[in-house]
Structure 1
Amino acid sequence: ANPGEFTLRAFLNGRIDLTQAESVLEIVNSQTEKSLEISLRKLKGEFSEKINKIREDIFDLLTNIEAKIDFPEEEDVSSYSIDIKRRVEKIKEEVERIIEKAGKGKILYEGVKASIVGRANVGKSSILNRLLKEERAIVTEIPGTTRDILQEVINIKGIPVKIIDTAGIRKPKSKIEKMGVEKAIEWMEKSEMNLLVLDGSQRLKKDDEILLEKIKEKAYLIIINKIDLPLKLKVDYLKRNFPEERIVFVSAKTGKGIDKLEDAIYRLICEGYGKIESSEFYINVREEELLKKIRDNLKNITENFDNLSIEVTAEFLKESLKNIDFITGRNFSQEILNNIFSKFCIGK
């Protein structure tokens, strides 16, 4: 069997549409129960129903417009124009709602990237192991143990968070360490959020202060580790300069505060993307690009309505219909099918 052959057959035989076919791969690649749930709903046709309803509304409107083009004298032009604009606006708003809702679903499916950063030997790898609930990162008392970038996915209330455990930031003592430090800084810039770990049993060092400034560029949390030891870090200084809700106290050694750290990561995600419900759904890049084309076509109509002829309005609607049919697979090319199904496992 070829990759995706059984799903392809189901699509070509009309048992499922293209969005449902793609959801099979999304189910296979789901990383958490919530991402599996939204992929299963897509397979059942929830997303297809929404898209087909929009198609129905556009097709109905286009039919009325083309009748008006053929028989222009049968209705008052001004009231007819107002009705067209209102209906296009309503369809556009529905497309925008789908894009927005799917954006949150994307977080549930694809997750977010978060880098754990900090000086050497502050406990970054130990915190990662606690979040993973297993030992995946090598932990020793020797500073600079983590030289390669370690990536793992943790489940934070149903959201997959790709945690990148970076090398400790310090003056490198070897070429390999230098490369690790450079990669750590690079990942800080790539990640959507940064988790800065400070050693609560020590006073702030120069490297800590540099990182405290650096993390302000993105969403961040300040994790004060080693609270099982006497506290020497000046917490008052941090509270004066950073929001208190961004500061979390933990002990990677005992596990104390790890649950609060998970809650803080979840709040930080919601802060950036809004409250994320399990009712969200996921759309892939292909579907998102086509939906945005549909939105832009409808936007062109509403924003330039007074200057558009009825024939041009009809063309924008026809283009929107064509893009909807590319989403669901009413229209497709062999190239599109090859691209989609080449990503499947053998068979499936």
Structure 2
Amino acid sequence: MNNVLSDDVIAAISTPVGTGGIGIVRLSGAESLQVADRVFVSPSGKSVTSFPSHTIHYGHVLGGDGAVIDEVMLTVMRAPKTYTREDIVEINCHGGNVVVGMVLQAVIDAGARLADPGEFTQRAFVNGRIDLSQAEAVMDVIDAKTEAGVSYSLNQLSGGLSKKYQGIDDELLHLLTYIDAALDYPEYDVEEVTENELDQNIHHMIDEIDDLLQSAKVGKVVRDGIDTVILGEPNVGKSSLMNKLLHEEKALVTNIPGTTRDTIEDYLNIGGVPFHIIDTAGIRETDDVIEKMGVERAKQMVNQAELVLYIEDVSRETSNGDQKWMSLLEGKKVLHIYNKSDLIDEDDQASLKDHLSDNQIVLSVKSEEGLQTLKQKMVEMAVGSDSVVRKDDPIVSNVRHISLLKQVRQNLESALESMAMGMSVDIVAIDLKDALDNLRKITGQSLGDDIIDQIFANFCLGK
């Protein structure tokens, strides 16, 4: 994206690929209005360059041969009150793949160039409208899997997380200013930071970083979801449970053992936590080649799973298979489900419930008794007590942020170690400067252009 600092006009389709009611072609750059004026004709005969900012106009887009491509609505947004802080034009046309592509080609022929992935947002960053942390939140909003994910990402986009980073930045800068002033201008009566003040401030910053890193546990769940495998022997109710959780007949259910031969996957939102639910083939010893492949795939899914819902049929005796397959679950978070409780009498149900551990529940998928408890347990096992984080609290969900925050914390710990060893304050300042540099890499204040290009390259076209 070496062109990002130039004044050329970029263009891209900003709506998803496919057929829809409306398709949007977006332009940004100093000459956007002039480029649009070469392809847009208004019934009033007015030029696009004469339109006031933040207005929308009816007209037609013409091709290079003067033929009408489509009937459109054109929106003009003049700098600096735009997404990129540059002049922006958006052409709203009909949403077919062909017509949107023709409109895009028309503006390219008129002088625009095709935008790189994420280039609109990169221009917003370069032009100072947002910092890098907020820019990354744009894709988090787009990729969010739940309403909670959208809320957390919008909080980051609006600067909630940036304010947290800025608070630590201000504190570091304050300490370094006093230290540098005292070292560089000893002839002046500059108030020195005492060792006690330095110690308190560094510990306070470490506490702030620990809070952010703690929030990352929720952030990872909200951002990526929890890979959750439903496991058990044939005909214990795995597919029935998946269908009940999803409120649709996603998996085929019969009384014939081995009906599910391959994994079936979908996303489920429980209390703002996205679960990637994977229904697997019933695990058992079999000579059926296809079913055997399904069993092996189920084992592979267990290895990747972050949570396993292991189901047993409580109405029948525990098999040797159940005992054998439990060895697959060592080291995994497992919620043990005793299903088909509707097939045993009340006394047996009561006795079973009296002997349950925290990660065991009694369930009847058929009657839905225990289903709400199952959902609550799934959320607890996914995020634990961290699920109480409010949606307006800033959370860290980006792996790059987490890595850099850990480096900042290590820099601060090194500063404390230097103090404990009695080293001079200028040595301590080196660690504090490293901490400040790593912190500013999060917001993009001290990050190389190659890394910034790599970050924005992961964005979608038109954003």
Is TM (by shorter chain) over 0.5? Answer: yes
State the alpha-carbon separation in 2 of the partners of residues 207 and 257 from structure 1: 25
Q: Which has the higher strand share?
A: 2
Q: Secondary structure at the match of 2:302?
A: helix
Q: Is the contact between residue 39 and residue 282 of structure 1 (CA under 8 Å) also seen in structure 2?
A: no
Q: Residue 246 of structure 1 aligns with which residue?
A: 359
Summarize the Cα distance change of 1:317–1:326 in structure 2 as closer, same or farther, 3 Å threshold.
same
Q: Residue 432 of structure 2 aligns with which residue?
A: 317
Output the amino acid matched with 1:187.
Answer: M
Q: Name structure 2 gaps, 5 residues minimum.
A: 1-114
Summarize the Cα distance change of 1:213–1:283 in structure 2 as closer, same or farther, 3 Å threshold.
closer
Moved more, 55-64 or 226-235: 226-235
The answer to whether 1:35 aligns with 2:149 is: yes
Q: Residue 165 of structure 1 aligns with which residue?
A: 279
Equivalent residue in structure 2 for 1:296, among 403, 410, 415? 410
Moved more, 8-17 or 169-178: 169-178
TM-score scaled by structure 1?
0.90
State the alpha-carbon separation in 2 of the partners of residues 81 and 282 from structure 1: 31
State the alpha-carbon separation in 2 of the partners of residues 237 and 86 from structure 1: 55
Q: Residue 266 of structure 1 aligns with which residue?
A: 379
- For the aligned residue pairs, the C-alpha RMSD in angstroms reads 2.6
Q: Residue 9 of structure 1 aligns with which residue?
A: 123
Q: Secondary structure at the match of 2:209?
A: helix
Output the amino acid matched with 1:175.
Answer: V
Which structure's CA Rg is the greater one? 2
Q: Residue 132 of structure 2 aligns with which residue?
A: 18
Measured after TM superposition, the shift of residue 218 of structure 1 is 2.5
- Superimposed CA distance per residue, residues 222-247 of structure 1 (whole angstroms, 9 cap, x where no aligned partner): 2222234346997689668751x433
Summarize the Cα distance change of 1:116–1:85 in structure 2 as closer, same or farther, 3 Å threshold.
same
- Superimposed CA distance per residue, residues 296-331 of structure 1 (whole angstroms, 9 cap, x where no aligned partner): 000111133132332221111111111122111112
Q: Residue 338 of structure 1 aligns with which residue?
A: 453
Output the amino acid matched with 1:124.
Answer: K
Summarize the Cα distance change of 1:276–1:200 in structure 2 as closer, same or farther, 3 Å threshold.
farther
Q: Residue 270 of structure 2 aligns with which residue?
A: 156
The higher-RCO structure (CA 8 Å, 6+ apart) is 1
Summarize the Cα distance change of 1:231–1:114 in structure 2 as closer, same or farther, 3 Å threshold.
farther
Output the amino acid matched with 1:50.
Answer: K
The answer to whether 1:131 aligns with 2:245 is: yes
Q: Secondary structure at the match of 1:155?
A: strand
Summarize the Cα distance change of 1:176–1:298 in structure 2 as closer, same or farther, 3 Å threshold.
same
Equivalent residue in structure 1 for 2:180, among 41, 59, 66? 66
Q: Which has the higher helix share?
A: 1
Q: Is the contact between residue 102 and residue 283 of structure 1 (CA under 8 Å) also seen in structure 2?
A: yes
Q: Aligned pairs, how many?
A: 346
State the alpha-carbon separation in 1 of the partners of residues 313 and 347 from structure 2: 7
- Superimposed CA distance per residue, residues 261-286 of structure 1 (whole angstroms, 9 cap, x where no aligned partner): 21221232343756443335233011
Q: Name structure 1 gaps, 5 residues minimum.
A: none
Equivalent residue in structure 2 for 1:196, among 299, 306, 310? 310
